[in-house]
Each structure stands twice: as structure tokens, then as C-alpha cells.
Amino acid sequence: MISETSLAERGLEIALITDAPLTFSRGQAVIHPSRSEYFETVAKFKGARYVTCSDLCAVDYLSAKEARSLPEGVTPERFEVVVSLLCLEKMRRIRLRVQVAESDLTLATLFSLYPGTENMEREVYDLFGITFVGHPDMTRILMPPDWEGHPLRKDYGVGRVPVQFREAPGPR
Amino acid sequence: MSDDEMTTSVADNEMHDESESQPVDADNETEVAFDLTARTGGTSEGLAPLEMTPEVQRMIEEGGVLRLPEENDLDPRQSEVRFGDGETMIINLGPQHPSTHGVLRIMLELEGETVLRSKPIIGYLHTGMEKTAEELTYVQGTTNVTRMDYLSPIANELVFCLAVEKLLDVEIPPRAIWIRMLMSELNRICSHVTWAATNGMDLASTTMMIFGFRERDLILSFFEKTTGLRMNTNYIRPGGVAADLPDGWEDDVEVMMDTIESRLDDYDELLTGQPIFRERTEGVGILRPELALALSATGPLLRASGIAYDLRRAEPYLAYDEVDFDVIVGSVGDTFDRYAVRMNEIRESIRIVRQVLERMPRGDYRVQDAKVTPPPRGRIDESMEALIHHFKLYTRGFEPPEGEVYVAVESPRGELGCYLVSDGSNKPYRMHMRAPSFVNLQCVPALLRGGLMADAIAVLSSVDPVLGEVDR
């Protein structure tokens, strides 16, 4: 298991890059920039040799607003965009969790920093309806273009069709 | 490509952007016949005529995104391939073309035989597996994830279980770790030989296809013996594995490894040194390392470009820090390098499997933690408590404490990540899979740009997308 001291060291390392609130989740470093600082924070990490954006996804906290621990000063909102950045030289990962309010579902795109986020941001747009401002191609990617609604939102029903099992005719 | 899939795009053709859904009057009929969106069934997602495409979008389709040093602007004029005055043609490759490895559709703009722009269009296999995962308990979750990347089910189960175990904070016994490693490596070999088979087919080497599927079957038979299923094994479970290895597994694995190793030499004879194969793959579809990194490519695709990023080495999980293996990297980043990296990775995997064979520890194959592990079958017959325990575990399941984790493993296609959020209930609040094929697919326009249409198939194949994972 990860020791306290290594976490403290990691915290110092990150504090050199950004002063956004830092937490640890099961030993993994997570920072919580505000929406306005989001792009700059990612840019700072890019400057600190975090060369790849390995993952970008979103979570809808509609039905579990209290189920997450956020550091002080971060207002929980309905949506959260989660970005994982990777530094290959030191093999470090950092996760950014940005709160996105339901009233204004926009976020700056990371496309100019990491072109590899193109598909991932489209996926988040498609499944959650969060628009990435400045993204070159903000269209649906997995769902059909004329689809209504954003399936991974918690208020989007699973739409399960009840299957009626007819009694199978026996062998006799 | 049949004729009806081909659509010519006249240079001054107008896009009916706004009026798309409105009925078109008879005068416009002929024009509409040439309208891309009308002919291809594509709407906003497709490839629009060049003059209608915004600059940045065009750069993506031309694969020029990565010609940008740092955050310089995207200048299409920097592209190496110039548009001539000739007529260009937009065609659909797929979604049912046999060489596109599933239902992948790629729209290509061609000038003669040269690819100018391309855009992968995906989603045909989207079944909402991430949504489904929110409806299944953690115990049931593995049956869902194993169906994502159907060529490497073990890697999917592994990453999901590692994430669940991290949330639960349980440590699994050494034998379970080593069994997982054995199965992952067998799965990697299996996936790579299948890739070699389909890649051979794409390059018209049907012999390679038969060879590859023959070797794959060896491993699948072992999977069947161990797990009961050939694909979608659902073998790795939170807390360990579903069953111990069958008696005599050492002999099976040894024979399998010896066979595959000797047959790799056959592959070399058939393809590696073969002038036609080399002609078709060398220098084709070069991916520069900085481009690969910027596009978040991982796996053999990234390693072929010369970046030694392998999660087994970079961020050792299971017991990969205790076994001896090399991370294979290419130098040029062309289609041949991607072939060579995969072929050598099979050899490295064989090396790992042999070490696992020697060092497989004894003991439990799943953790003896009543919270995640069902009681042994025998106990259920004699103890009421065991029966209740069994019943509770398979109906209600267990409840990891609140929290969120991101865990990544090296799947045969690259970094397979699982982002798991728990709200303290028995089902994941959110499960997101970072699918390597989905991300790697972004490299396709960059790889195809300026190449020949015939090479497009070879290049596409070398990216190795599995559409089950792309669309999830």
C-alpha cells in the first residue's frame, strides 16, 4: 500500500504545478480545478511534461450528490468531467475532476492541447450533453445523429423491454 | 466497394445543410442525386464536401492535426499532399466491408487512388454497455465487460476486477495473481495471432489467415478447459478467479507454447521475409511518435513508433515486476513495424508464460474474504449459513465504500482503463472503460493521408481496432 510519505511527496510535486485543491482517492492523486481554471490547469500540466491525455469521461451525480467527498471550496454540481493525464518520463498519472453545472453545460475543449481528446469529448457530448466550446466537430459519435436525449444521464431511463418467456414446448 | 456505395462529389456541389430534412423540389432532383448526405445516408457525422468543411475539421480528416508543433495554428497548406484540380471522389469503406474488422465505416475522399481525407464513423455496434454496467451488481459486472473487446475478454475482466478490488481494498492471494497473469498472456498471444490472421487476409494471404486461426484455436481450447467458455469467459472475478486451473494444465500450456513458438517461425517464413509483404507494409502509414502521443495512441501502435510505453513495465500490476520480459519497440512506425512489434510480443508473452509455468505458487485461487467470495460448493449442502451467504452474494452482492478509481492494464490493443465510481451501493454508480481501440482509431486519418487506397486496408488492419470495444 502507498505510504503517507509518498503521498505527501506527490502532493508537493503537484503543488509546484498547480494550486488547485488536491485530494487522494485510494492513493491516486486527484485535483479539482474550477471550470474557469480548467483549461489553464491542464495547460500547466502539459507544460510539466504530461504529454498524453489518457482518458476523458463524465459522471452524472444526479442521484448521488452527497456520495462523493470534495475538498472545501469546491461546490458539487450535477455533472463532473474527469480527465486523466499521463507523464511518461516519471510515469505519473493525475486526474482532474471539474464540476459542470446543469444550468450551463459547457466546458473548454482540450483539443488544442491534446488532439487525442477529440473522440472522447465527442463521446461525452453524445452521452451526457456537455458541449465542449471550441471543439472542431461537436457531433454525436456513438448514437445516431438524430437521437434524442443523452443516454448516460441518470434521468435517462434504461428503456428495458420486458421479455415474455413463453413456456417452451416440452420434448414430449 | 460496390458501385452504389460510390458517390462522386462535384467540386462545386452544394451542401444542403439547413434544408436537409425538408422535401426538395423537382428542379433540384439531379443535384440531390449528387448530394453526399442524401446518397450516403450520412448526416452531420459524415464527410462533408471539402469547401463546406471548417478548417480545423479538415485538418483532422487530413490527419494534419499533428503537424502542429505545440499550439501553433492548424494550417492546411502545410499538408504534404496537395489537392490537384482533378475531380475528387468520396467513397464509403464499410460498414460491411470484410476488411474493416467489424462494422467500421470510413469515409474517404480520393483523388485517383490517393487518399486525401478520411473520417472513421463509428457507433454501429453501440449497445450502451456503460449504461448496462450501472444496472448490474459488481458480481454480475464481469459478464458485461467481457463482451466489450471480444478478442481479449480476459483483459477486460481483469481491469474491471482490479478496479473493484481497489475500491474494496482487498488483496488477492498470490496464486490468483499468477493465474490471472497466465491467462492475460495467453489472451495476448491469442489476440495477436488473430490479428496476424486478419491482417494476412487483408493483404490477400489466406494461408496466414488459416495459420492464425489454427493457433488461436489452441488457446481457445485451453480457455474452454479452464473456464468452460471459449470467448467471453467471465473467468476473472472480483477477489480472484472463478476456478482453479485444471489438472495437468502445465502440460497443456507447455505443449501450446512449444507449438506456437515453432509456428512463429512459419509466420516468419511466410510473411516477414517475403518481398511482396514487405513491399506492401514497409514505409506505409508512418506514425511519428509525437503524433502518436498527441493522439493518445497506446499499445503496439505507440510502441511501433518508438515509445516504450507498456503498462506492464511502466506501472506494474499483478506480478509483472517479478517476471522477465522485454518491451518491444519499433523504429519507423510504419505498418511493418506494427506487424513486427506484435509478432515479437507473442514471443515475449511466451517467455512470460514459461516463467509463470515454473513459478506458479500454490494456495487459494480466490481471496478467503467472505465479503466477496462465495462459500465452497460442498459447504452449501451442509450449512444453512453457507447457503444464505451464497444466496446473498449472488443476489445482493457486496458494497464497496464510496470512492472513485482509475485502473489501467495493458490489453493487446493498448491501455485499457476502467474508471469506476462507487456510491456505496451494490452496483457501480458509473463505470467508464477507456477503450484503446476507440482512442487509437483517431490515428487512422493521419495514417491514411496521402497513401494509396489499396494501402488503406493494410494500414487500417495494422491499427487493430476491435469494434465491440470501440462502440461498447
Full DSSP string of A87-123: ETTTTEEEEEEEEE-TTS-EEE--TTT-GGGHHHHHH
**Domain boundaries defined on chain B:** 3-121, 129-434
Q: Helix, strand, or coil here: A52?
A: strand
pTM of the model: 0.83
Q: Helix, strand, or coil here: B90?
A: strand
At residue B118 the predicted structure's pLDDT band, cuts being 50, 70 and 90, is: confident
Give A136's contacts in chain B (Cβ within 8 Å). 54, 56-57, 59-60
Are B199 and B340 a contacting pair, CB within 8 Å?
Answer: no
Sequence-separated (6 or more) residues with CB below 8 Å from residue B35: B13, B14, B15, B16
End-to-end alpha-carbon separation of chain A, Å?
A: 61
Which of A137, A152, A154 is most worth mutating to test chain B (most B CB atoms within 10 A of its CB)?
Answer: A137
pLDDT higher than threshold 60 for residue B443: yes
Domain assignment present for A124: no
pLDDT in tens, B245-266: 999 899 999 999 999 999 998 8
User: Residue A53: left if φ>0, alpha if ψ -120 to 50, beta else—which one?
Assistant: beta
pLDDT in tens, B361-419: 988 888 888 788 888 888 888 888 888 888 888 888 888 888 889 999 999 999 999 99
| Contact yes or no for A118 and B471 at CB 8 A | no
Domain assignment present for A53: yes
| Contact yes or no for B54 and A136 at CB 8 A | yes
Alpha helix segments (H runs only) across B285-360: 289-294, 300-304, 311-314, 335-359
Domain assignment present for A158: no
Domain assignment present for A33: yes
pLDDT higher than threshold 80 for residue B78: no
> Quick one: closest CA in A to B420, which residue?
A59
Residue type, B185: E
Which of A30, A31, A52, A112 is most worth mutating to test chain B (most B CB atoms within 10 A of its CB)?
Answer: A52
pLDDT beneath 50, residues of chain A: 1
Which of A49, A93, A95, A119 is most worth mutating to test chain B (most B CB atoms within 10 A of its CB)?
Answer: A119
Kind of pairing between the strands at B403-411 and B240-241: unpaired
Q: What is the CATH number of the domain that holds A34?
A: 3.30.460.80
Sequence-separated (6 or more) residues with CB below 8 Å from residue A136: A111, A118, B54, B56, B57, B59, B60
For residue B357, what is its C-alpha cell? 509455468
Number of residues written out for chain A: 172
More confident position, B181 or A170: B181
User: Residue A15: left if φ>0, alpha if ψ -120 to 50, beta else—which one?
Assistant: alpha
Are B282 and B334 a contacting pair, CB within 8 Å?
Answer: yes
Query: How far apart, in Å, are the Cα atoms of A108 and each of B7, B449, B471?
Result: 36, 29, 25
Picking from B55-59, B168-172, B212-216, B303-307, which range would have the lowest pLDDT averaged per residue? Answer: B55-59
Alpha helix segments (H runs only) across chain A: 4-17, 38-47, 118-128
Residue type, B93: L
Question: What is the per-residue DSSP string for B132-169?
Answer: HHTTS-HHHHHHHHTTTSTT-HHHHHHHHHHHHHHHHT
Q: Helix, strand, or coil here: A80?
A: strand
pLDDT higher than threshold 50 for residue B324: yes
Residue type, A66: E
Are B370 and B398 a contacting pair, CB within 8 Å?
Answer: no
What whole-number distance in Å separates Cα of residue B176 and Cα of residue B182? 10
Q: Helix, strand, or coil here: A60?
A: strand
> Quick one: closest CA in A to B316, which residue?
A91
At residue B217 the predicted structure's pLDDT band, cuts being 50, 70 and 90, is: very high
pLDDT higher than threshold 50 for residue B300: yes
What whole-number distance in Å separates Cα of residue B181 and Cα of residue B365? 12
pLDDT higher than threshold 70 for residue B244: yes
Sequence-separated (6 or more) residues with CB below 8 Å from residue A54: A84, A85, A86, A93, B296, B298, B408, B415, B417, B434
Predicted local distance difference test score (pLDDT) of residue B37:
46
Domain that holds residue A96: 4-105
pLDDT higher than threshold 60 for residue B229: yes
Record: fold of B129-434: Cytochrome-c3 Hydrogenase; chain B (1.10.645)
Please confirm whether the linkage preceding B465 is cis (ω < 30° from 0). no
pLDDT in tens, B148-167: 888 899 999 999 999 999 99
Domain assignment present for A101: yes
pLDDT higher than threshold 90 for residue B332: no
Domain assignment present for A77: yes
Number of domains in chain A: 1
| Contact yes or no for B45 and A136 at CB 8 A | no
More confident position, B17 or A142: A142
More confident position, B427 or B38: B427
At residue B181 the predicted structure's pLDDT band, cuts being 50, 70 and 90, is: very high
Which has the closest alpha carbon to A40: A13, A59, A19? A19
Are B5 and B25 a contacting pair, CB within 8 Å?
Answer: no
Are A125 and A152 a contacting pair, CB within 8 Å?
Answer: no
Residue type, A165: F
What whole-number distance in Å separates Cα of residue B152 and Cα of residue B137? 22
Sequence-separated (6 or more) residues with CB below 8 Å from residue B18: none
Among residues 25-44 of chain A, which lie with CB inside 8 Å of chain B? 25-26, 28, 30
pLDDT higher than threshold 80 for residue B355: yes
| Contact yes or no for A28 and B406 at CB 8 A | yes
Predicted local distance difference test score (pLDDT) of residue B349:
93
Domain assignment present for A15: yes
At residue B122 the predicted structure's pLDDT band, cuts being 50, 70 and 90, is: confident
A70 to chain B, any CB pair closer than 8 A? The answer is no
Residue type, B228: G
Domain assignment present for A81: yes
Predicted local distance difference test score (pLDDT) of residue B86:
65
The β-bridge partners of B431 are B420
Structure ipTM: 0.86
What whole-number distance in Å separates Cα of residue B414 and Cα of residue B394? 32
Picking from A66-70, B5-9, B81-85, B463-467, which range would have the lowest pLDDT averaged per residue? Answer: B5-9
Which has the closest alpha carbon to A28: A46, A10, A44? A10
User: Residue B397: left if φ>0, alpha if ψ -120 to 50, beta else—which one?
Assistant: left
Tell me the average pLDDT of chain B: 81
What whole-number distance in Å separates Cα of residue B78 and Cα of residue B67? 8
Sequence-separated (6 or more) residues with CB below 8 Å from residue A11: A22, A24, A29
What whole-number distance in Å separates Cα of residue B352 and Cα of residue A10? 32
pLDDT higher than threshold 50 for residue B471: yes
For residue B61, what is its C-alpha cell? 480528416
Predicted local distance difference test score (pLDDT) of residue A169:
60
